Structure 1
Amino acid sequence: MGAMISLIAVLVIILAALVGSMAGLQYVFGVILPYTGFIILLVGFVFRVLDWAKSPVPFRIPTTAGQEFSLPWIKQAKLDNPSTTMGVLGRMAFEILAFRSLFRNTKAELRSGNLIYGPAKWLWLFALAFHWAFFIIAVRHLRLFMEPVPGFVEWLDKLDSIMQIGTPPLYITDVLLIAGVTFLLLRRLMSPRIRYISLPADYFPLFLILAIATTGILMRFFIRTDIVGVKEILVGLATFHPVMPDGIGPIFFIHATLVSVLMAYFPFSKLMHLGGVFLSPTRNMANNNRMVRHVNPWNYPVKIHTYDEYEDEFRDLMKGAGIPVERE
């Protein structure tokens, strides 16, 4: 049910962009909507990160997945249980760039009445491919927003299309993105356990990203679009001098609308793990509890009433009640 609702929502977005662009609303779907989506993304992203940053961390709670720092002759797991800032940086780097914790993840299955644990490397592989392909595609698209095109973008574009198949060349990241998002979507649809806990919010970004990738491939290989006019639009957006040349087909406005919706949806969804991973206290804190006392910086200043002050205040009453006192 959740998958059907999300699919219908994406199809409605596509239909609205198609009808709107054919009805003469190209400026709305090609200029106003992208600006709106980008502003919502920027403001929402900053707001949520700042809101998380203000959250108190009353305890030092790093995830420990190995031997902590102990005696000199006991080997420490410096990445899984770091006790220094450099160890934390190494752990965060492996987590962000290589999804190390997902690589170590296991799955549990009930077979013949027995609970069997096994590796889940396919999930790690497709998730890593999906995220890196999405990032490279986003960077590669800078060539449409900038003039002249930076050298690193041209280098990345050539490297991505090094296995040239046909004309225009097929990008490796296009294939990886489609494969990755398809695997993640089928995993939610085919596994009864995952499907049971999945909500429309879990399906919607997958269908949305799949639609973005599909319309981009259609626009590149099958429904030819005036790339000069498209770059004129995008450079105008980037320089805050929007233009809307003639001859741009509806497929571009569908693609732009889907991307705009993704940007606007991003800060309010689980996709915000992009910013949240940097603020996770279970990952960004060193496990040095035995070496350094952790004091919560958000602690409210509480007036302390010591025992000596308590005894000075109630000494006579305590003596009268037969309660021993430390000082006469």
Structure 2
Amino acid sequence: MNVGWSFLIFLVLLLIPWVGVGVLGLQGLFVTVIPYVCFLIFIVGLVYRILNWAKSPQPFKIPTTCGQQKSLPWIKHSRLESPFNTFEVVLRMVLEVLFFRSLFRNLRADLQGKKLIYGSAKWLWLGAILFHWSFLIILIRHLRLFTNPVPSVIQFLDYMDSFIHSFGVPPVYITDILIIVGLSFLLLRRLVDAKVSYISHGSDYFPLFLILGIVITGVLMRYNLKIDVYAVKQITLGLATFKPAVPEAKIGTIFYVHLFLVSVLAAYFPFSKLVHMIGVFFSPTRNMPNNNRAEMHVNPWNYPVKHLTYAEWQERFREVMENAGIPIDEEVEKEEHEWYTIYGPNKNLNL
């Protein structure tokens, strides 16, 4: 049911620009108004999510670890699995964001009879790598449409992505093939795997349909349904310089479908699960070092606590102690006592 509704909404989104441009001739609406409105929603929504994450207190040290924590000098600790300082946290984050290190170790569990069998799940890691890296490269490649002249870095990336010229003209981009393979795997995994399908919602299927629609329309424009690239460049440069204009040359309806789906994705991004690509940097399970034994983590929700030394405590309850027959240590002096941690005196604790 979830997949059905998601696909139905996707089909409606496909029909909107098809009817709006192909039948009603509203090119100006889909070239100027909708992209700017969706981009504004993207910026405002993303800023809201980031500020909301940034101001969320972190009451506990909860970094996810699966290695030896740093303790005594003669015990070797795991720098990546249990980072102790900021450098080690950054190193783990880089490997996590760029190479999905934790997903590479992921296991799948199957119940066979009365036995729980664990097995490798490297295919999920490979599918995620193919999709995310291809999407990033394609996004960078598209910057050539918004710049004039095109930076040499983007030209080099474009050349490396299309170095296979044996399939004819235009050259086939490798990332076009890989992103379709990766997206197809991620979608089929949710449709075929009963366990994954059971826990999947419409918010899991809809982004896959939307991105797959963007990719397919883009591939069709490049290899099958030819469009006026010069007119497209006019539109994109106009959007980038805030001087939008509808070109006089006729562009195929497929371009407006592609642009509309991209605009919808931008507006939908801050409110979807796709925003995890930003949220991972604000996750306390990832961005906090595991140094509880060396540094005290103060809960920002706590009210200021007044700690008493033994001398102050004894002075406060002297009468009660005397009535109860508890001996009073007369040799205790206030100035000789400080607040101690297990590592020694700490006069800078803001408690």
Counterpart CA distance in 2 for 1:177 and 1:97 is 16
Query: Does residue 254 in structure 1 map to residue 283 in structure 2?
Result: no
Counterpart CA distance in 2 for 1:259 and 1:62 is 35
**1:53-202 map, 5 Å:** 53-164=54-165, 165-202=167-204
Q: Structure 2, unaligned stretches of length 5 or more?
A: 331-351
Deviation of the 1:213 alpha carbon = 0.3
For 2:276, give the aligned amino acid. Answer: H
- Which moved further from structure 2: 237-246 or 61-70? 61-70
Deviation of the 1:72 alpha carbon = 3.4
Counterpart CA distance in 2 for 1:152 and 1:319 is 78
Counterpart CA distance in 2 for 1:93 and 1:191 is 30
Deviation of the 1:120 alpha carbon = 0.5
Deviation of the 1:310 alpha carbon = 7.7
Q: Which has the higher contact order (CA 8 A, sep 6+)?
A: 1
Counterpart CA distance in 2 for 1:57 and 1:142 is 38
Deviation of the 1:32 alpha carbon = 1.0
**Cα pair 2:63 2:284 within 8 Å, conserved:** yes
Deviation of the 1:176 alpha carbon = 0.9
For 2:13, give the aligned amino acid. Answer: I
Deviation of the 1:83 alpha carbon = 0.9
Secondary structure at the aligned position of 1:205 is classed as: helix
Secondary structure at the aligned position of 1:24 is classed as: coil
Deviation of the 1:309 alpha carbon = 7.1
1:13 paired residue number: 13
1:3 paired residue number: 3
Counterpart CA distance in 2 for 1:114 and 1:259 is 46
Query: Does residue 282 in structure 1 map to residue 282 in structure 2?
Result: no
**Cα pair 2:49 2:270 within 8 Å, conserved:** yes
1:45 paired residue number: 46
Higher-Rg structure is 2
1:238 paired residue number: 240
Counterpart CA distance in 2 for 1:126 and 1:313 is 66
1:304 paired residue number: 306
Query: Does residue 269 in structure 1 map to residue 237 in structure 2?
Result: no
Deviation of the 1:114 alpha carbon = 1.1
Counterpart CA distance in 1 for 2:159 and 2:80 is 35
1:35-86: CA deviations, max 9, x gaps? 1111111111111011101111111111111112133333221111111222
TM-score between the two structures when normalised by the length of structure 2: 0.88
**Cα pair 2:31 2:244 within 8 Å, conserved:** no
Deviation of the 1:313 alpha carbon = 6.8
Distance 1:84 1:302, change over 3 A: closer
- Which moved further from structure 2: 195-204 or 111-120? 111-120
Root-mean-square deviation (Å): 1.9
**Cα pair 1:311 1:325 within 8 Å, conserved:** no
**Cα pair 1:161 1:172 within 8 Å, conserved:** yes
For 1:72, give the aligned amino acid. Answer: P
2:207 paired residue number: 205
Deviation of the 1:299 alpha carbon = 3.7
1:136-192: CA deviations, max 9, x gaps? 101100001111111111111000001222211111111111111110000000011
TM-score between the two structures when normalised by the length of structure 1: 0.93
Deviation of the 1:301 alpha carbon = 3.7
1:184-204: CA deviations, max 9, x gaps? 000000011111111101100
Distance 1:7 1:168, change over 3 A: same
Deviation of the 1:113 alpha carbon = 2.5
**Cα pair 1:143 1:150 within 8 Å, conserved:** yes
For 2:11, give the aligned amino acid. Answer: L
For 1:256, give the aligned amino acid. Answer: L
**Cα pair 1:189 1:195 within 8 Å, conserved:** yes
- Which moved further from structure 2: 66-75 or 284-293? 66-75
Counterpart CA distance in 1 for 2:327 and 2:14 is 80
For 2:91, give the aligned amino acid. Answer: G
For 1:239, give the aligned amino acid. Answer: T
Counterpart CA distance in 2 for 1:205 and 1:305 is 53
Distance 1:326 1:26, change over 3 A: farther
**Cα pair 1:105 1:120 within 8 Å, conserved:** yes
Secondary structure at the aligned position of 2:119 is classed as: strand
Counterpart CA distance in 2 for 1:124 and 1:60 is 28
Counterpart CA distance in 2 for 1:46 and 1:223 is 38
Counterpart CA distance in 2 for 1:64 and 1:326 is 48
1:214-263: CA deviations, max 9, x gaps? 00011111111111001100000000000111301110110001000000
For 2:101, give the aligned amino acid. Answer: R
Distance 1:224 1:80, change over 3 A: same
